[in-house]
Amino acid sequence: MHKMSDEDTIAAISTAISESGIGIVRISGPDAIKIADKVYRSPGGKKHLKDVPTHTIHYGYVADLVSSSLVQSSSSSQDSSIGEKVHSSEGVIDEVLVSVMRAPKTYTAEDVVEINCHGGVLVVTKVLDAVIRAGARPAEPGEFTKRAFLNGRIDLTEAEAVMDVIESKNQFALQNSVSQVRGSLYRTISGMRSQMIYQSAHIEACLDDPEALSFDEYVPELSEYTDKWISEVSHLLETADSGRLMQEGIRTVIVGKPNAGKSSLLNLLLGEERAIVTPIAGTTRDVLTETVTIGGMTLMITDTAGIRDTEDIVEKIGVQRARDAVEKADLVLYLIDSSTSIDIEDREIFNLIREKNVIILQNKTDLNTVTDIESIRRELGKLFIKYKCADERQNTGDNEQSADQESLETDVSSKIPVIPFSAKERTGLDDLIAALKKMFFSGQIAYNDEVIITNARHKALLQRTLESLRQLKRSIDDHMPEDFYTIDLMSAYESMGEITGEEIGDDLADEIFSRFCMGK
């Protein structure tokens, strides 16, 4: 990323470059207002942005005055005629509203000007070009937010949450990101760091003046604080998996025998005909992935080829891709055609998915039922015990089966949701949503004030923090020398500081902000 300078004034298009009602060109830096004044003209030609109050909006025109004859006209004493020239000159680009915001109460904590013009691709680009010719530098991706961070306007967790807001795929992810933009994670981390630095100072004081401060008497207090920190960090880490699923979506794969209704299910969830549906088995030859939000959850759904042995070369490739998709999935929706009997192909599919989170849909309940829920559960129990026993025999060499096999089969099968379903009649969808919530989000998805970890960088640093705290606890329990306590405690303190950006190098900051979109 371009090296920052206090003298830089940057500009970029901050809205999508497309045909739209409004487009915004943002300018930030010490010369933002001066540069905007070079391209802005009020209708009467007498108003200058340098003279207007902060946080005000002004109607007028943007013209490429730097490269046009209007430069000379604007500097003449005949201000009354400028309005007419703006209307008629070839230098005029667009009719605009200009927002003027003076430091420090702005997004970047610098002077900021936003030019609101019409949203056509050509006009927005021309406005930006005019601003750059007037003296601004093109902003790098994420540079506005990086300036907000470097100027102390926001911490790093709030900065990263800005991008999460933009990329949110559902209401829960959006609300959690907005909460972090408002500083919820920062306050949690900052509170613990304040306690850590205080306790570290206490350790140093005990070491410096052992006659006045007894270290032995202080150790129980430190141990209590360490337990508290371990508990708090562990709780944050426990939210990381569900946080990732809410932020990125649940990687979901639909599997089943050919013609089990997989493509019909995908079309039902999408609300449109995206997958080809025919009564001919083997219609789907490749994987098809779509994103859908249901019940507040985002699912990245992959429809796969029916899994079976086949001599068709193209279908065989599709079946292998289906197996690969299952390997990477968070969830498998296994469709069983209830109008047919369970056969060897169903058993092979179950063996493939038995280590995954599985929801079974007893599909085609609108037809005559051959395989009911009880039959499915009995078959599941037998298959699970069969494969489990085979695994155990392979590991131990013991060929005897459990005497309580029937009880085990019932227990195992009852833990896998089996839902009566008809993609054709659109029944069973509410039960599917309820099963998803129970499986991944403890039965409910409700926004509250709890901090949810959705960022992989935060998770890695929290894991490092937790290891340092556990090492500190071991040092306390093993009565290690006092110096060990300070090393582990400060290691945890610094790891948490990397989350908020208080202990971060320029290279990492550059890498983080380079992932942002242009103009943000």
The token pair at 359 is 């929801």
Q: What pLDDT shows up at residue 386?
A: 66
pLDDT at 403 over 80: no
Rounded Cα–Cα distance for residues 490 and 246 (Å): 33
pLDDT-derived band at 398 (thresholds 50, 70, 90) equals low
**Average model confidence (pLDDT) across the chain:** 80
The token pair at 269 is 């969830």
In which residue are the tokens 């001919």 written?
280
Phi, psi of 114 (to 5 degrees): -120, 120
Q: Which helix (H) or strand (E) holds 223?
A: helix 215-238
Question: DSSP letter string over 249-274?
Answer: -EEEEEEESTTSSHHHHHHHHHTS--
Question: DSSP letter string over 478-511?
Answer: TT--HHHHHHHHHHHHHHHHHHHTTT--HHHHHH
Q: What pLDDT shows up at residue 77?
A: 40
**Percentage of residues in the chain with pLDDT exceeding 70?**
78
pLDDT-derived band at 394 (thresholds 50, 70, 90) equals low
| Candidate from 166-180, 380-394, 500-514 with smallest mean pLDDT | 380-394
Q: What pLDDT shows up at residue 480?
A: 87
Rounded Cα–Cα distance for residues 304 and 195 (Å): 52
pLDDT-derived band at 75 (thresholds 50, 70, 90) equals very low
Rounded Cα–Cα distance for residues 162 and 154 (Å): 10
- Chain segment 233-281, per-residue pLDDT in tens: 999 998 887 777 777 788 888 888 877 888 888 888 877 544 433 343 4
What lies within 8 Å, CB to CB, of 368 at 6+ separation is 339
- Chain segment 191-234, per-residue pLDDT in tens: 999 999 999 988 888 877 777 777 778 889 999 999 999 999 99
pLDDT at 145 over 60: yes
Question: DSSP letter string over 339-379?
Answer: TS---HHHHHHHHHHTTS-EEEEEE-TTS--SS-HHHHHHH
pLDDT-derived band at 2 (thresholds 50, 70, 90) equals very low
- Counted residue by residue, the chain has a size of 520
Domains in the chain (CATH in brackets) are: 10-155 (3.30.1360.120), 162-239+453-501 (1.20.120.430), 249-437 (3.40.50.300)
Nearest to 519 by CA among 162, 168, 95: 162
Q: What pLDDT shows up at residue 14?
A: 92
pLDDT at 81 over 80: no
